[in-house]
């Protein structure tokens, strides 16, 4: 296996650090538009090589694949580049993995009722070509989507005979401070992606169909485990809702994120001011995207780890009928402590937790434990080998029974 990692930011850097401790691959080439950033990520292992790439150009991706004999392309950049990397990998005859699928476009007339172009639609439209070529595109294999989707497969196979709801619930008690110890606003993940998924109409799977709702709708308080505690969660657009129902029978699928009042207020203000827009505007003779400016002025998520404390939790709340025929409510989750990831890997917990899962997936693929062709989500593959492997990486998963 020869891997091309595209993107050496927070998640890409963490991916390289995790992969450096494994031996299932023959080569790992780290590519970024900023070759210096690629070199920093690649410096963790003498086996790694750093190169420059234009992720917006499929031919640039395909050319790198051919030049380095790449068998698997790992996409670790913002989803605006998903289709160019996806197409470049296919052109070069390589398999493909990502953690964020192709972008959605709201319905032009009723965005809070009907779906327009859904997350991943552009990729699934090309599934038959990937299958005919015998190539695998494993999409949504981060933590959410990714591990949450593996939990869905596990729940269907081992825990439930009938599933009412697959409810992804994400929460954290992370705090970032400045040099004086004052708490500051510093998102732990890409602000560009956060704006995209939080301000788009959230999608809900209900009774056999996808529909949309308003941003931040259906607030609920969910009590997260291992000391994180109760957090208000709201509907957010996310890939799990578009992936899980394709392979797992359920009456309802949702994604709710514990954003917090401050984040919701900031996002609403950005939208009101038009600062969430991606189309460019002219400012003093220079064309810039307002969203790119917002992302650029905030702290880089890759750099905030030393000033961050707390834990992050990714998980799936499953309700329905258990294998014994009784009502069941179960939360499958993984909690990661920032102090541990910083001490062990030098990367903050949110990007580390995201990067972990594609490394595990690639290891299972290299062994032949996971295999397939076409465009597949994690829930299309057996869950138990993946869950068993997490402990080897120091990141075990948990299970908590709730009152039905």
What is the chain's Cα-based Rg?
A: 20
pTM (predicted TM-score): 0.92
Hunting for tokens 């086996």 — which residue is that? Answer: 47
Helix H or strand E encompassing 170: strand 160-172
pLDDT, position 189 = 65
Q: What number of CA atoms fall less than 13 Å from residue 206's CA on the CB side?
A: 11
Domain range 147-348+396-402, its CATH number among 3.30.360.10, 3.40.50.280, 1.10.167.10, 3.40.50.150: 3.30.360.10
Write the pLDDT tens digit of every residue in 85-115: 999 999 999 999 999 999 999 999 999 999 9
Q: Give how far the C-alpha of residue 380 lies from the chain's centroid of Cα atoms, to the nearest Å.
A: 17
Architecture of the structural domain at 2-98:
3-Layer(aba) Sandwich (3.40)
> Can you name the residues that pair with 70 across neighbouring β-strands?
none
Residue 143 clears pLDDT 70, i.e. is over it: yes
3-state secondary structure of 282: strand
Please check whether residue 257 is in contact with residue 165, taking contact to mean a CB–CB distance below 8 angstroms: no
pLDDT per residue over 37-94, tens digit each? 999 999 999 999 999 999 999 999 999 999 999 999 999 999 999 999 999 999 999 9
CB atoms within 10 A of CB 14: 28
Neighbours of 92 (CB within 10 A): 23
The dihedrals phi and psi of 141, each to the nearest 5 degrees, come to: -115, 45
How many whole angstroms separate alpha carbon 381 and alpha carbon 379?
5
Q: Dihedral sign, CA of 391, 393, 394, 399?
A: negative
260-274: pLDDT as tens digits: 777 888 888 888 888
Query: 145-149, 285-289, 303-307: which range is least confident on average?
Result: 303-307
Greatest Cα pair distance, the chain, in angstroms, is 68
CA distance 243 to 235: 16
Domain ranges for the chain, please list them: 2-98, 147-348+396-402
Q: What are phi and psi of 33, to 5 degrees?
A: -65, -30
Per-residue confidence (pLDDT) for residue 122, from 0 to 100:
98
Look at phi and psi of residue 184 and say left if phi exceeds 0, alpha if psi is from -120 to 50, else beta.
beta
Asked if residue 150 lies in contact with residue 312, where contact means CB atoms within 8 angstroms, the answer is no
Strand positions, DSSP E, 236-296: 252-257, 281-283, 286-288
| Beta strands 327-337 and 398-402, pairing class | antiparallel
| Location of structure tokens 């949504």 | 140
User: What pLDDT is recorded for position 188?
Assistant: 67
């Amino acid at each position: 296996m020869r891997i091309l990692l595209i993107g050496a930011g927070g998640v890409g850097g963490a991916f390289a650090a995790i992969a450096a401790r494994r031996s299932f691959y023959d080569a790992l080439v780290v590519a970024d538009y900023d070759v210096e950033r690629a070199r920093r990520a690649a410096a963790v292992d003498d086996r790694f090589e750093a190169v420059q790439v234009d992720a917006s150009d499929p031919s640039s991706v395909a050319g790198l694949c051919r030049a380095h004999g790449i068998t698997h392309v790992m996409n670790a950049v913002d989803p605006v580049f998903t289709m160019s990397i996806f197409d470049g990998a296919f052109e070069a005859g390589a398999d493909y993995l990502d953690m964020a699928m192709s972008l959605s476009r709201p319905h032009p007339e009723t965005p809070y009722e009907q779906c327009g172009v859904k997350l991943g639609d552009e990729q699934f439209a090309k599934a038959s070509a990937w299958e005919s070529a015998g190539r695998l595109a494993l999409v949504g294999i981060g933590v959410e989507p990714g591990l949450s989707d593996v939990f869905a497969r596990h729940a269907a196979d081992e825990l439930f005979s009938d599933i009412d709801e697959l409810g992804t619930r994400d929460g954290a008690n992370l705090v970032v401070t400045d040099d004086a110890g004052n708490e500051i606003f510093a998102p732990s993940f890409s602000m560009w992606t956060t704006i995209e998924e939080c301000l788009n109409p959230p999608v809900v799977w209900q009774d056999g169909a996808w529909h949309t709702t308003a941003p931040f709708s259906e607030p609920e308080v969910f009590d997260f485990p291992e000391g994180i505690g109760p957090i208000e969660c709201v509907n957010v657009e996310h890939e799990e809702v578009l992936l899980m129902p394709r392979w797992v029978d359920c009456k309802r699928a949702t994604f709710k994120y514990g954003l917090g009042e401050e984040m919701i207020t900031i996002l609403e203000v950005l939208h009101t001011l038009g600062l969430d827009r991606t189309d460019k505007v002219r400012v003093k003779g220079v064309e810039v995207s307002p969203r790119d400016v917002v992302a650029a002025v905030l702290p880089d998520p890759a750099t905030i780890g030393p000033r961050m404390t707390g834990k992050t939790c990714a998980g799936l709340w499953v309700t329905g009928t258990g294998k014994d025929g009784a009502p069941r409510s179960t939360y499958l989750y993984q909690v990661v402590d920032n102090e541990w990831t910083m001490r062990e890997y030098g990367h903050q917990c949110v990007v580390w937790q995201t990067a972990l899962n594609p490394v595990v997936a690639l290891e299972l693929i290299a062994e032949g434990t996971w295999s397939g062709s076409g465009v597949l989500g994690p829930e299309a593959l057996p869950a138990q080998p993946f869950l068993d492997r997490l402990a080897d990486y120091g990141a075990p998963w948990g299970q908590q029974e709730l009152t039905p």
